[in-house]
Amino acid sequence: MKDVLNLLAYDVGNSAVRTILCRYGNGAVESREVLVEPNGSFEENGYLYWDMDSVFESMKKGLALAAKQCERIDSVGICTWGVDFRLLDENGRFTAKALCYRNSIGEEEISALSEAEKEEMFYRTGILSDRINSVFMLKGMRKHVPEAVSAAKKLLMVPDVFVYMFTGVLMNEPSELSTTQMMDVRTLKISEEMCAYAGVSKDLFSQIGVHGKAVGNILPEILAEAGIGYDIPVICVPSHDTASAVMGIPSPVPDYLFVSSGTWALIGADTDAPVITEKTMRSKLTNEAGAFGRTTLLRNSAGMFILQRLRAEYQEEKKESISWNDFTNLARGWKNEPYVYDVNDSRFFNPVKMADAIWKVLHPEGGAEYCWPEILASTYASLGESYAETLKFVRECTGKEYDRVYVVGGGSRNAIINQRCADSLGLPVEACDMECSSVGNAVVQIAHFHPEYTLTDLREIVYRSLNVKTYTPETLE
């Protein structure tokens, strides 16, 4: 076995396409950013789409750059956001562009269900019924773009699409597949009942991948384009970025609380099995498939999307750029106790103007001009409280005691939110440097080369690879 491995980890999010080169040696993983390029949805004929071809071009560019920065790339793993997908026809061609979950199509379908029907779906799959789940988009597409569905022979989730584009192999990875609400997380098998609801066949899905196993090699023409003269396997990693981030948390114990803070905040616990109970459902928690058969019990909550929108609107209003540090410092200028609002209110899902939506909640009487420090202070406090409130429900549902919370992802850098969560929950918050998703991706690739490693062994590699900053609970004044 090789003592040193160069592992390429793609971290494709709603706002950026990141290529990360991870080096495994001396029992730890070091990572460095090779390329970061923007990503985002675009509107066409009243629908929001993702430009998958543009993302793939960025990934190929990252591959070529990474190859120049090391002697050999040993393997590749791909992580993206959840729920979105593309359909393929019998010739392996995509039947339509990739629709974005922020379209209203899913909302239209789930709003037609009774509470009893949604509860039945939860008990059948372990997944909480949510407007963004793929099953509702798929059902709605039969009305909005029927020709795309009628021609479909296979469905690939977003990371599976990129695996297919790289290798030509059709595979459905389990952590990402669980976000569809079409798979039973207890058995990792597709639900015939959920397929019937969506009006599709089980045959729409391909083989379900196994973590740590090679899916296939990168196609020769792609290697040639990148100037690479050797084979590179693509490894099945937990391709929902949350699952990889949870795998990449440096916890010395197997069960732990976490917040994966990106565009969305995924708030929950790593558990050894799904927790499918009425209490879980009433707490709005869901059971997503994790790495190597683990489960991530979590709530899909509003995250940095709100702040990303606010920063963009602030820059547009002021006609100047502002760093995240300076933007956060604006909130410190608000000296009153911030108002805490429900960040998951539907008014903040995708408003025309985020600042308007928040200001109307803070000042329903209207009339006043924006006070950016007030908006930001309230938003930071509200996000911290939403983390803490959800984690309290998680503790109740698992029946376990935890001694700390790990925060990973881009939002882990926000001291105001982390401190507010620690104070409200009464537990230390360990903010991990933001490469948890890539490190989690990489250690699953390591399992391909070291099949003798147990999950505990891989966790120890993570523990030796990442640093944390601790936020100790303080008395709120």
Range 357-396 burial, b when 16+ CB lie within 10 A, else e? bbbebbeeeeeeebbbbbbbbbbbbbbbbbbbbbbebbee
Superfamily of domain 253-434+468-477: ATPase, nucleotide binding domain (3.30.420.40)
Confirm if 435 and 227 have CB atoms less than 8 A apart. Answer: no
**Helix axes of 372-398 and 354-362: crossing angle, nearest 10 degrees:** 80
pTM flag (> 0.85): yes
Q: Give the span between the Cα atoms of 369 and 363, in whole angstroms.
A: 10
The predicted structure's pLDDT at residue 368: 77
Q: Give the span between the Cα atoms of 431 and 253, in whole angstroms.
A: 17
Q: Give the span between the Cα atoms of 354 and 31, in whole angstroms.
A: 35
The predicted structure's pLDDT at residue 252: 84
Confirm if 474 and 426 have CB atoms less than 8 A apart. Answer: no
Closest CA to 230 of 238, 240, 222: 222
> Boundaries of CATH 3.30.420.40 in the chain?
5-235, 253-434+468-477
CATH 3.30.420.40 applies to domain 5-235 = yes
DSSP 326: H
DSSP 337: P
Confirm if 10 and 73 have CB atoms less than 8 A apart. Answer: no
Q: What is the pLDDT along the chain (477 residues), one digit of tens a residue?
A: 678 999 999 999 999 999 999 999 999 999 999 999 999 999 999 999 999 999 999 999 999 999 999 999 999 999 999 999 999 999 999 999 999 999 999 999 999 999 999 999 999 999 999 999 999 999 999 999 999 999 999 999 999 999 999 999 999 999 999 999 999 999 999 999 999 999 999 999 999 999 999 999 999 999 999 999 999 999 999 999 999 999 999 998 888 999 988 888 999 999 999 999 999 999 999 999 999 999 999 998 999 999 999 999 999 999 999 999 999 999 999 999 999 999 999 999 989 999 999 999 999 988 778 899 999 999 999 999 999 999 999 999 999 999 999 999 888 999 999 999 999 999 999 999 768 999 999 999 999 999 999 999 999 999 999 889 999 998 543
DSSP 3-state assignment of 216? Answer: strand
The predicted structure's pLDDT at residue 476: 41
List all residues 6 or more positions away from 188 whose beta carbon is below 8 Å from its beta carbon: 174, 208, 289
Confirm if 212 and 424 have CB atoms less than 8 A apart. Answer: no
Structure tokens that stand for 458 in this block = 């891989």
The predicted structure's pLDDT at residue 254: 83
